[in-house]
Structure formats: C-alpha cells, structure tokens
Amino acid sequence: MTDIDRSYSGPLERVDECCYRIPKSYRPGMRVDGLVFADERLIEHVRSDRAAEQVANVAFLPGIQTASLAMPDIHWGYGFCIGGVCATDPAVGGVVSPGGVGYDINCGVRLVRTNLTLADVRPVLVQLVNQLIRDVPVGVGQGGRHVFSPAELRQLMREGVEYLVHRGLATDDDRLLTEAEGCIADARPELVSDRALARGQDQCGTVGAGNHFIEVQVVDRVEDPRAAAAFGLAEGQICVLIHSGSRGLGYQVCDDALRALRDAPAKYGITLPDRQLVCAPVESPEGAHYLGAMRAAANYAFCNRQLLMWQVREVFERVLGKPWGSLGMELVYDVAHNIAKIEEHAVGDVRKPVCVHRKGATRAFPAGHHDIPDRYRAIGQPVIIPGDMGRASWVLLGGPRSLERSFGTTCHGAGRCLSRTAATRAAKGRNIQHELERSGVIARSRSREGLAEEQPAAYKDVDVVVDVVHRAGLSTKVARLRPLGVIKG
C-alpha cells in the first residue's frame, strides 16, 4: 500500500476522463491491454501501489478477452489486484484462477431496508449497537449458534438459501432478492475438503474480522428518485448493511485449490509472470474441480449473510419491541464481490460464454438483463457499494455501459489507501471509537485493532470512487447512506 516503498512506474495512457490504459506492448506476453477505471483524483493512488502491475500480469492469462480490467477501488491483492476483473473464453483454452476470486470466496454485501426513520432509531441507537455486538458473532474464529453437520453443510452448499427457506430461516423474497437467487448452479460440495467443512461447521451466521461489518445507516441523499422508489428507499430511512463472506470454509477451499493447482500451469504449457496467478483451463479436470468447490463455498457465503440478516432482524425486534415484518425489514438485494461465474457476454460481434472473474468487484447488470429479479428488471440491478465506517456507502444501479465496458461489473467499495499495518501505526495514541462517536457514529469492535485497521483514513473517499463508475457508465448513483452505528470483529 502507500506505506510500502513500491510504486507502479509503467505506462498509464489516458483513454478518457475515467479510464487509463496499460498497453499490451508494455510487457512481452501480455495478450490484451490493461484498463484501469480512475480519474485525475485517483490516478496517483494507482501509481503509488503495485496493483497496476497485477493488472498487466492478468493480461498474460490464456483465453483472456478484450482487456484486463481494474475498478477505481484498485489496490494490491493476491494474484489479481483487489478490484480486478477479467473474462476468459473456455472454448480457446481460457483459464480459471483462484487468485481472480480470492481467499474469501463470495465475500459480499446485502442491504436491508426498514420503515424506521432517524427519529425512531436515534433514542435507542446505542442500545441497538450494543445488542448487535452481544448477539451477533463477530471476530476472528468466532462460531455462532447455527451449527451444521458435514451432511447438512453439503446440502446447504448444494441448495444455497433455499435450504434455509425450508428450515424457516429465510423467506422466498430473501431468496429471490439474492444474486443468483442465493445458489450458484453446478456446485460440487463433495469436492470440499473435510478440513474446510470443519472450519465452516459453526461459522455460518458470523461476521468474522477484517473489513467485515454490520452497519446501521440512514439514507442521507437520493440521487435517482425513480430507482430509489423501485428499491423501496427514501431520504431519512434507516437501513442495515451486512458485509461478510464464506469465512474459514471459503479460505480453506481457496487454500486447497492453490495447492492442487500448483503443477497445472506446467501440465498445460501455461507461462505465468506471477505464481500467485496459478490456474487451469476452465474445461480441464483441475479447472472443473476448483469451480465446483468454489461454487459450493459461494453458496455457503450466501447462507452466511442470510443468517446474519435473520439475527439482525431478531435484534431489532428485541430492542424495538415489534416483529421484524412490522418494522419493514425487507431485503433490498445481496451481491457477491469475489467470484468467478460462467456468463454469456458479447465480445466484439460474437455472444459467447466466458468465465468472468470478479475479485473485489460487483456485478452491475443494466435494465432488461434476464439475470435481474423480476421486480427490478425494468429499472436495473441494485448495486451496493460500502465505504468506510466514518463517511458513507452507496446504492447504485447497473449502468448503461457496463456490459460493453466491463462485462457488467463495477467497483465493490472505496478501496484501501493504507495497509492494515500502516493504519494501526497511524492510530497509535488515538481512540478511534471516541473519534467516530464525536462524528456521530457509534462503533463497537471485539478488538482495539479492528477499529484501528478500519479507520476512515485507511480508505479512499467512496464518493470519489463512486463518481468515477457513475461517469464511466458502469453503475449510476441512486442513494447515499450515512453510517450511524457499526459492529466489527
């Protein structure tokens, strides 16, 4: 990050006001250009970090289509940068790379609206946040009350949120308003290791640590009244944003895959500029094995966020003394951030299936796309972009140019500008909890380090990042949400 003495010194050619190019002539072996969505306010962040070099590295992958892409929240990651996107064509030896998904498979967010206003919640806000951190498991290694046997976990990973519907822990609307209806097809839970199952046994319905959180928010500003009305959002309304992923189970699936794929590039004659990009052809046994296990872990993550939402509903019931249904606590949408999916896209004049890697990036399909839930299809897919816990988050709409420019993808957050080590160092001698409270945000964490690592200064300004994807046509602004209370690991 910015505290590490490593910066990108390669070419970044201005394409337009929101996009820069790394030409494929930059390094022998690049099959396509790199494209970084950024503007003059963000480009120095891009240059100060080696993540742009990772964009160039991804351009070496066999079968890559159009370009190696990066969103404006770009920063250094494992293999791919965070904010990295690429599509590969299985028909021409296109590969799948675990580094293009990440360790936290299907890390993602879901937004819950309510019929409460700021006036309703302000008197009980501290009580509400304190109750959330008492009742919802957060932190490293934390288990929860929902414990599943190996057989139950495999069924959950095969069926996704539908499994929880049958157990009375989700509604049909909860399922329908989750990306892919809460279940990625062709999951292969039998390929998930016993070690991964053991790690995930009691972690479904837990937040974890790092940048994961549950945040009580108020709709601060509406930019697109028509879309906001379609999503059930209005100025002054209370919402809850939940950010978590596949926990230890997903981490283990990725770890297992990286070991299993170690020799695959040599087997298939693939030369890589970075061994963290280890990969295999999508249509090879090794590629199919990873995709099957990854999809199973993704379904686990959808269920994790569903159970977290269920517990949040119970906390609101307890504090406000009313059933969650009468509080209007309905799911707006749930989107994945770290995933590889087979989708049909137009590449030039040809429509074909491609394997779209989204690593710290959000699907953003425009109006009319068949993968959008019926109730939103005429308006477009809801896109949820969390920021830092001191400034704002955003709800957007799948943009009119997202399919042509980014395989239907936009950013997933603000993007770090300080590493966790640097953020902790910068917090020395300060009390981040008190600083947030003075700015009107009630924050609770299981550890002092949790707030220090995630302090607002550790992140780019989400308003600037969102403005770039809005102007680029990847996703368009609907509403800005301001944090009121947050719990973290």
Cα→Cα distances 469→71, 146, 349, 480, Å: 8, 38, 25, 15
Contacts of 77 (CB under 8 A, 6+ apart): 51, 54, 84, 99, 102, 359, 360
Q: Which two tokens stand for residue 88?
A: 């590969």
Does residue 207 register a pLDDT over 80? yes
Write the Ramachandran bin of 326: left for phi over 0, alpha for psi from -120 to 50, otherwise beta. Answer: alpha
Alpha-carbon Rg for the chain, nearest whole angstrom, is 21
Collapsing DSSP to helix, strand or coil, 29 comes out as coil
Distance CA 182, CA 177 (A): 8
Which is it for strands 280-281 and 213-222: parallel, antiparallel or unpaired? Answer: unpaired
pLDDT at 5 over 50: no
Q: What integer is the mean pLDDT of 365-382?
A: 98
pLDDT value, residue 4: 44
**236 neighbors 118 (Cβ within 8 angstroms):** yes
Span 302-317, average pLDDT:
98
Q: What is the pLDDT of residue 3?
A: 42
* 3-class SS string, the chain: CCCCCCCCCCCCEEEECCEEEECHHHCCCCCCEEEEECCCCCHHHHHCCCHHHHHHHHCCCCCECCEEEEEEEEECCCCCCEEEEEEECHHHCCEECHHHCCCCCCCEEEEEEEEEEHHHHHHHHHHHHHHHHHHCCCCCCCCCCCCCCHHHHHHHHHHCHHHHHHCCCCCHHHHHCEHHHHCCCCCCHHHCCHHHHHHHCCCCCCCCCCCCEEEEEEEEEECCHHHHHHCCCCCCEEEEEEEECCHHHHHHHHHHHHHHCCCHHHHCCCCCCCHHHCCEECCCHHHHHHHHHHHHHHHHHHHHHHHHHHHHHHHHHHHHCCCCCCCCCEEEEEEECEEEEEEEEEECCEEEEEEEEEECEEECCCCCCCCCCHHHCCCCCEEEECCCCCCCEEEEEECCCHHHHHCCEEECCCCECCCHHHHHHHCCCCCHHHHHHHCCCEEEECCHHHHHHCCHHHECCHHHHHHHHHHHCCEEEEEEEEEEEEEEC
Instruction: Write down the pLDDT at residue 341.
Output: 98
> Which tokens sit at 41?
């306010």
What's the CA gap between 435 and 451, in Å, rounded?
Answer: 11
pLDDT of residue 140: 83
pLDDT beyond 80 at 187 = yes
Q: At residue 50, what are phi and psi to the nearest 5 degrees?
A: -80, 5
Q: Is the pLDDT of residue 1 over 70?
A: no
Residue 118 in tokens: 């700021």
Written as one letter, the residue type at 149 is S
Cβ–Cβ contacts within 10 Å for residue 352, how many?
15
Q: What percentage of the chain reaches a pLDDT higher than 70?
A: 99
> Would you tell me which CATH number, out of the four given (3.30.310.50, 3.90.1860.10, 1.10.3720.10, 3.30.1340.10), belongs to the domain 13-488?
3.90.1860.10
Which is nearest to 202 in space by CA: 161, 245, 142? 142
Whether residue 385 is predicted with pLDDT greater than 70 in this model: the reply is: yes
Report how far residue 103's alpha carbon sits from residue 252's, in angstroms, rounded to the nearest whole number: 8
Q: Note if the pTM is more than 0.95.
A: yes
Q: Residues 79, 54: contact at Cβ < 8 Å? A: yes
d(CA 77, CA 83): 9
Q: What is the per-residue pLDDT across 345-369, written as a single tens digit (0 to 9) for each?
A: 999 999 999 999 999 999 999 999 9
**pLDDT tens per residue across span 241-294:** 999 999 999 999 999 999 999 999 999 999 999 999 999 999 999 999 999 999
- What torsion do the CA atoms of 261, 266, 82, 292 make, to the nearest 10 degrees? -30
Convert the pLDDT of each residue in 237-256 to its tens digit: 999 999 999 999 999 999 99
Task: For residue 289, count CB atoms less than 10 angstroms from its CB and return exposed for 0-12, middle for 13-18, buried for 19 or more.
Answer: middle
Nearest CA to 357 out of 33, 58, 3, 112 is that of 58
12 and 21 Cβ atoms separated by less than 8 Å:
yes
Identify whether 166 is a catalytic site residue.
no
436-485 tens-digit pLDDT:
999 999 999 988 788 999 999 999 999 999 999 999 999 999 999 999 99
Question: Looking at residue 450, what is its pLDDT?
Answer: 82
Burial 448-465 (b: 16+ CB within 10 A, else e): ebbbbbbbbebbbbbeeb
Q: Are strands 361-363 and 330-336 parallel, antiparallel or unpaired?
A: unpaired
Give the residue with greater pLDDT, 312 vs 418.
312
Interval 102-140: pLDDT, tens: 999 999 999 999 999 999 999 999 999 999 999 999 988
* pLDDT above 90 (res 223): yes
Whole-number average pLDDT of the chain: 96
Per-residue pLDDT, 69? 98
**Which entry of 243, 337, 357, 412 is annotated as an active-site residue?**
412
